[in-house]
Structure 1
Amino acid sequence: MSGQQNGDAGDHVEPDFAQAFKELARGEGAATALENHLDALEKKIEEMLAKAEEDEKDRKSRPKPSATDSSSNDGSKPAA
């Protein structure tokens, strides 16, 4: 009887490994897709940060409006 149990266990182990490898391959594919998506997001964030830094430098390098020019400097913030 112990011989039957060992034989039965061997039959079940092989399909379990096959299923595990299928699931592992599917998980690897999902991980690769997520990594690609995150890489694309990271690239967009870096582009946005670079643009924001460039805009900030441009804003700081612009001459300040004169105190006599009240039409362009009314103290209110522009609508966003």
Structure 2
Amino acid sequence: ALLIARQSFEARKLLASEISSLRLRVAERQTIVRAVEALSKGAEDGRAYAQLRSLAMSWQISVEEAARRIVAMTEEEGGDDQSHRA
């Protein structure tokens, strides 16, 4: 009985960790969407996403972190995109 309870506890713990990770990824996706919107300026979203990926590679950070930086810079500058500043 203790073994079954322990296995059940570990399974629930693992599932809770996975749920937390997925929630974080959803929040990061929303940040990526905001960054793509900031970079697009009416152009194609695909090009803006490619630009975001390129910035992430040049800055040697994840796409999610690059998106956070773009959104932060956009908010600091009142909505103006200055993504060429790193």
Q: TM-score, normalised by structure 1?
A: 0.51
Aligned partner of 1:46 in structure 2 is 26
Structure 2: segments with no counterpart, 5+ residues: 44-53, 60-86
C-alpha separation in 2, matches of 1:62 and 1:55: 13
The AA in structure 2 aligned to 1:49 is R
C-alpha separation in 2, matches of 1:61 and 1:42: 30
Q: Provide Cα deviations, 1:22-79, integer angstroms capped at 9, x if missing partner.
A: 111000000111111111100111111110011001110279xxxxxxxxxxxxx764
Aligned positions of 1:1-80 closer than 5 A:
21-61=1-41, 79-80=58-59
Percent same amino acid at aligned positions?
9
C-alpha separation in 2, matches of 1:50 and 1:61: 18
The AA in structure 2 aligned to 1:26 is R
The AA in structure 2 aligned to 1:35 is L
Structure 1: segments with no counterpart, 5+ residues: 1-20, 64-76
Q: TM-score, normalised by structure 2?
A: 0.48
Larger radius of gyration: 1
CA root-mean-square deviation: 2.1
Runs of 4+ in 1 over 6 A off after TM superposition: none
